[in-house]
Copies of this chain bind each other. A is one copy, B any other.
Amino acid sequence: MTDTDRGRPGLRDRKKRRTRAALSEAALRLVAERGLDQVTVEEISEAVEVSARTFFNYFASKDEALLGDPAAEAELLTRRILAAPPDLSAFDAVRSAFDDVVAAIEADREVWRLRLTVIAANPSLLPRLVSGNAATERLLVAAVAQRLGLDPCHGHPMLVTTVAGAVFRTALMRWAEEPAPAPLRELVAEAFTAVAAGLPDPRATR
């Protein structure tokens, strides 16, 4: 558990990240094939040639393995919101914070498309997904409020966060559902630009 072994910085960390990703991917593929109730933690572990005990070093449950790592995502977003150039509006700071998330999703496109398919097909995953989203939302609201020097109970930080979240998820769904979508970063940029302009009707030329 010491990631500070001198001489090999990050090696152990990289290996852990790879195992975690492999377990997630195996869980998604098996559940997409057979359905949520037809897949056990043992089968997921076997597919990656680790023990169930190792699985539980990474995830508390099968559902957790399917849903990515919202806590890590929230931490990344929060850090980026606070570090964004001070001349950006809070909405633009949140928008720019999504860049890294978008890059990570695009780097792992097939897994993400699989994840969105599995979620759509298994509504019993929703309570955990929604509570993860709510926790992320609270962190982002706090970061936006801090940027603006506002009380988190002021309505604006919450509005910026929920609208940015809706914009991001809408672009993500479009990207996941279209058979040959534009790059996610383009769909996200297009959607944020439309909202920053106040959502005018698109021109007749489409």
Contact = CB atoms under 8 A, between A and B. Distances in A.
Interface residues of A, number: 40
A25 to B, nearest CB: 25
Interface stretch (A30-38, A53-61, A63-71, A154-162): A154-162
A196 B198 contact: yes
A100 interface: no
Contacts of A196: 198-199
B159 A191 contact: yes
A90 to B, nearest CB: 6
Contacts of A127: 123-124, 126-127
A98 interface: no
Nearest to A131: B123
A182 to B, nearest CB: 10
A51 interface: no
Contacts of A124: 127
A193 to B, nearest CB: 10
A201 B155 contact: no
Contacts of A165: 166
A76 interface: no
Interface string A138-170: 000000000010100011101110110111011
Contact of A187 (B155, B166, B191, B194): B155
Given A126-B126, A130-B130, A89 B199 contact: yes
A197 B131 CA distance: 30
22 contacts: A89-B199, A89-B201, A90-B201, A91-B198, A91-B199, A123-B127, A126-B130, A130-B130, A150-B206, A154-B202, A154-B206, A158-B170, A158-B174, A159-B194, A159-B199, A162-B167, A163-B166, A163-B195, A166-B166, A195-B199, A196-B199, A198-B198
